[in-house]
Structure 1
Amino acid sequence: MSDEAKLRDQLCALARSLYDRGLTHGSTGNISARAPDGGLLVSPTGSSFGRLDPARLSKFDDRGQHIDGDRPTKEMPLHTAFYDTRAGTGAVVHLHSTHSVALSMLTDADEDTFIPPLTPYAIMQLGRVKLLPVFLPGDPAMGDAVRGLAGKRSAVMLAHHGPVVAGKDADAACNAIEELEATAKLALLTRGLPVKPLSDDQIAQVVTKFDVDW
Structure 2
Amino acid sequence: MYTAFIFDLDGTIIDSEMIGLTALQATLKEQGIDKDLDSLRFSLGIPGLKTLEILNIADIPTTLESWMEREKPLLKNVPLFEGIIEVIDQLPKMGIVTSKTAEEMDNSFYLLNIHQKFEVIVCASDTKRHKPYPDPLNLGLSLLHCEPNQAIYIGDSIYDMRCAHAAGVDFGLALWGARLTDGFDEAQYIFETPGDILKLMND
Q: What is the TM-score of this pair, normalised by structure 1?
A: 0.28
TM-score (norm 2): 0.29
Question: Hey, which of these two has a bigger chunk of helix by percent?
Answer: 2
